[in-house]
Amino acid sequence: MCGITGYIGTDETGKIVHQGLQNLEYRGYDSAGIALNGTNLTVHKTEGEVGDLPVPAGDDVVCGIGHTRWSTHGEPTEENAHPHTDCTGEVAVVHNGIVENYDDLKAELHGDHVFRSDTDTEVIPHLVEDHLAEDVSLLTAVQRATSRLEGSFAVAVTAAGHDGIIVARQDSPLLLGHGDGETFIGSDATAFIEHTDRVTYLENGDIAHVTKQGVDIFNDGERVERTTETLDWDADAAGKSGYDHYMLKEIHEQPRALRQAISGRIDDLATNVDLTLDLPDEYLQSVEEVQIVACGTSYHAGLFAKELLEAKADVRVTVHVASEYDFRGGRDPWRTLVVAITQSGETADTLSALREASQAGTRTLALTNTLGSTVTREADDTVFIRAGPEIGVAATKTFVSQVATAALFSVYLGRVRNEMTTETATDLLESLRDLPGAVQQVLDREAKIRETAREYADSDAFFYVGRRAGYPVALESALKLKEISYDHAEGFAAGELKHGPLALVTDDTPVIALLTSETARKKTLNNVKEVKSRGAPVIGVASDPDATTHVDATFDVPDCGAMEPVVANVALQLFAYHVADEKGRPIDKPRNLAKSVTVE
């Protein structure tokens, strides 16, 4: 959602913090600001993109903090942009998360303090101001101020006349990057990855004093040591490498991402999968139900995973939108495995569902892309999807990697539970091996997809239909289009069309039909005829030419067994991309959207 960055060191602080904000812009970008602490404290803010904010400079600047905002409380205006300051203008605060008791705190502070914004954050600098008046160090003042806050936060505070930056976290991600005589602060590593890959993740309740000399971390009044890890991401995230958009770059990275996802995990000779899980076999054998919790694209990956787990591994699966999740319904928590799917590992709704499940007594497994993220610490066990950094707000390679990793998990679970035959496992593993090459073939056919996208770009609405594994792909493909082209796009279970949505179909609403293997396509073809007879143009996605004799346009995909719907998804990612590109949309920064949503 919002992004925090900060810097203390010998380089040009204003420039580094500004660059950090640009790196973080994908997390949200309706306003931005920077505070520099030197001879005095200066604050520079703007409404709109980071690019609208000039690179700030000050006198003898020692350190700086910055913020890029995606509004939750208060409109996107310059007043509401962070950093927020106290009445004296000497304390500057940037904050991610939500202060749930801000109404109470604001009421309490109101007599003595003047509030200039509508944000929840502004209570923090005023609280710090009050505590500084007690003549304590900035560290103590921030510690006392944050102890008053309810809700989630990651904050960075700097104040005139005080040394360095104080950072604190509770349920919102925050990490420190260690350079040579310099320290970086970021809500995720993207903020500073081009400078250093040595990082320390702060834990809940940590408060740290960052100075030129280094970092001192405290928790609950005690000094603590946190480990320094080396990220295995390279700084590729820092550039588009000649692509027009990160999204297109990431679409093209999918064959490699998929090879990484499966690399070293398939034991072809034993027809099994090794995910280095600690969950005991006996437990997995006793599980009666797998509950998947996820949001957005990850939720669609969850629906796909359900198809695989139920059809191939014969285990009961329910998939829950994380924000709607409750552990209930008379389930036995000891026989329920909850799988949280989140790209960032920081999705607040998913983490909240995971905690709910954990409290109920279930075991939990995370499927994520992000090493060291909150979900990896909170879940009992983690499987990484290994997709590498994803910058485009519209998830592409992480979806296919999530599905591929879920397919590996379904083989693992099916084999452990003795519910998957060698034949089924061989077929599924073969289709996984075929997947990177098949995706590459779709990428090689991009020109044709672009042509079709241009032809249909100006349609009134787009409907995606599919059955079985084709249904989650229809949902995901529709989501992709609406995210980046702002067109009305909906995914439907193909059989549901006639129960209502058919009323929306006209000759200006193309229907995109998933007709690959594993999608019960003979039945879907009947639905294709329904929409054809209402005059709608139909775009079919299939490997078998016989499936597409009645359609107006075809995206051929290579034969890829159970993974074929994933290949179809790649074709439809390109379709969405080129429709949006034709309309000149800001594809990497769609309006109102943020990459990972760290508020509930």
Report the relative pairing of strands 461-466 and 488-493 from DSSP bridges.
Answer: parallel
Which DSSP symbol is given to 344?
S
Report residue 47: phi and psi, to 5°: -90, 145
Q: Which of residues 376-435 bind another protein (CB under 8 A)?
A: 433-434
* Among 51, 89, 161, 239, interactor with another protein by CB under 8 A: 239
560 is catalytic: no
Residue carrying the six token digits 């299939």: 542
Cβ neighbours, 10 Å, residue 252: 18
The answer to whether 266 contacts another protein (rule: CB under 8 A) is yes
- Of the two residues 234 and 458, which places its CB atom closer to another protein in the complex? 234
**Stretch binding another protein (CB under 8 A), from 217-225, 229-237, 373-381, 512-520:** 229-237
Q: Verify binding: residue 558, another protein, rule CB under 8 A.
A: yes
Residues 99 and 117: their CA atoms lie apart, in Å, by 14
Please count the residues of this chain forming the interface with another protein, following the rule CB under 8 A: 32
Distance from C-alpha of 570 to C-alpha of 492, rounded to nearest angstrom: 18
DSSP assignments along 480-500, one per residue? HHHHHH--EEEEEEGGGGGGT
Exactly one of 43, 87, 224, 235 binds another protein (CB under 8 A); which one? 235
Q: Given the rule CB under 8 A, which of 184-192, 215-223, 233-241, 539-547 is the region that contacts another protein?
A: 233-241
Residue 314 or 427: the one with the smaller Cβ distance to another protein is 427
Q: Give the three-state DSSP class for 300.
A: helix
Q: Which residue of 263, 276, 359, 426 would you call a contact of another protein, by CB under 8 A?
A: 263
Which residue lies nearer to another protein by CB, 266 or 478? 266
Nearer to another protein, 233 or 283 (CB): 233
Would you count residue 256 as binding another protein (CB under 8 A)?
yes
Quick one: three-class SS letters along 301-335?
HHHHHHHHHHHHHCCEEEEEEHHHCCCCCCCCHHH
Q: Of 2, 63, 295, 560, which one is the catalytic site residue?
A: 2
Beta-strand ranges (E) seen in 59-188 are 63-69, 84-85, 91-99, 151-159, 165-170, 175-178, 183-186
Amino acid at 191: A
Q: Which of 66, 392, 436, 540 binds another protein (CB under 8 A)?
A: 436
Which residue lies nearer to another protein by CB, 115 or 243? 243
- For residue 264, the cross-strand partners are none
From the CB of 563, what's the least distance to another protein, in Å? 13
Phi, psi values for residue 281, rounded to 5°: -55, -40
- Does 234 engage in binding with another protein (CB under 8 A)? yes
Q: Kindly tell me which of 26 and 464 has the beta carbon lying closer to another protein.
A: 26
Span of 160-168, 239-247, 282-290, 304-312 interacting with another protein by CB under 8 A = 239-247
Rounded distance between C-alpha atoms, residue 561 and residue 291, angstroms: 25
Pairing of strands 336-342, 91-99: unpaired
Binding to another protein by residue 268, rule CB under 8 A? yes
Q: What is the C-alpha to C-alpha distance for residues 461 and 487, in angstroms, rounded to an integer?
A: 6
Instruction: Give the type of residue at 37.
Output: N
Amino acid at 270: A
* Helix 397-416 with 422-444: angle, nearest 10 deg: 170
Active site residue 595: yes
Q: Name which of 49 and 236 has its Cβ closer to another protein.
A: 236
Q: Does 79 bind another protein (CB under 8 A)?
A: no
- Choosing from 45, 306, 397, 595, the catalytic residue is 595
- Closest contact distance (angstroms) between CB of 61 and another protein is 27
Binding region for another protein (CB under 8 A): 234-236, 238-239, 241-243, 249, 252-253, 255-256, 259-260, 262-264, 266-269, 433-434, 436-438, 440-441, 443-444, 558
Q: Which residues are marked as active site?
A: 2, 595
